[in-house]
Amino acid sequence: MELELRSRLTDELSTGPEPPIGDLVVASMRQGRRLRVARRLRMGGIALLAVVVAAGLVGGVVTLRPAAPQVVTPATGTDPLVPATPAGLLVLLESLLPDGVTSGYAATPGGGLMVQVYLDTGHGPGMLRVAVGRDADGPAAVGHRAVMDGGGAVTGPVRRADGAQVTVVFLPDNCVQRTVVLFDRPDGIVVQVNIAACLAWDGTGNPPGPQVLTAVQAEAVAADPRWGTMLPRSLVDEGAARHPTLPDLA
């Protein structure tokens, strides 16, 4: 007897219950929106790369096309600003990162506003560190000077349409700060994103790790108006719940 493949497959499929399809459509829309953002960032990344290459070739001043204006939004009455905590910064950082698995959370000792996270987007964990401070007195400003004194290739500062200035520093001899994005806001807040090419010190060395953000992606992270020495209470509360204790940066 000749049996069609299709009917036999249909029979076999019908013998076992299909698992529920759940919120597949909603999830696909969420994933689609993230893909759209990633696509825009890639487009921006190509534009920035072209500028960086051009700057390297001529060794001159870099002029970037200004990014879209961004309004710094104050906290609403229902979510007042409270002093920032490392755990709150981590929650904000995780919400701004591309999809992936996060781990390796840490912060500077004593409540300093510098946090660390490992992000694995499918190519192994890579380390990011973000510092927030006020110009000239915060840890980011210190990092700013240290980075600027450390040599390497500097792109910028580039003034954005929203008044912020972005500087990208590439440090070939510093795996913890292989690429540093400094985001200086007009209100004096400095956000520094360190994209490492290694993981944190493990007692004997810094194991290698992929750079998990491009400079353009890091700029997008730093441009979130919620970064600051004050944070919305909801972020601080969520941080306290999700990261009640954080190990010190190594």
Partner 1 sequence: MSDVDAEFVEYARAAAPKLRRTAYLLCHDWHLAQDFTQTTLAKLFVSWRRIQRRDSPDAYARKVLLRVFLDHQRRSSSRELVVARIAETEAPADQPELRLTLLEAMGHISARDRAVLVLRYWEDQSVDTVADLLGISAGTVKSQSARGLSRLRRLLGTTELALRD
Contact residues: partner 1, CB under 8 A: 1-6, 8-9, 12-13, 18-19, 21-22, 24-25, 27-33, 35-36, 39
Considering the complex, state which of residue 123 and residue 242 has its C-beta at the smaller distance from partner 1. Answer: 123
Which residues 6+ apart lie within 8 Å of 21 measured at CB? none
Nearest distance from C-beta of residue 122 to partner 1, angstroms? 9
**Smallest distance from partner 1 to CB 30, Å:** 8
Distance in angstroms (rounded) separating the CA atoms of residues 225 and 73: 7
Q: Which residues contact 62 (CB under 8 A, 6 or more apart)?
A: 51, 52, 55, 155, 156, 158
Q: Is residue 157 reached through a cis peptide bond, with omega within 30 degrees of 0 on the bond before it?
A: yes
Task: Name which of 31 and 63 has its Cβ closer to partner 1.
Answer: 31
* Residue from 172, 128, 117, 132 nearest 150 by CA: 172
**Residue among 29 and 50 whose Cβ is closer to partner 1:** 29
Smallest distance from partner 1 to CB 80, Å: 31
Helices (H), 172-247: 215-222, 233-242
Residue 83 or 124: the one with the smaller Cβ distance to partner 1 is: 124
Specify the residue, 15 or 204, whose C-beta has the smaller distance to partner 1: 15
Q: Compute the least distance from the CB of residue 8 to partner 1, in Å.
A: 5
Q: Of 44, 83, 17, give the one whose Cα is nearest residue 166.
A: 44
Coil, helix or strand at residue 235: helix
Give min distance, CB of 15 to partner 1, in A.
Answer: 9
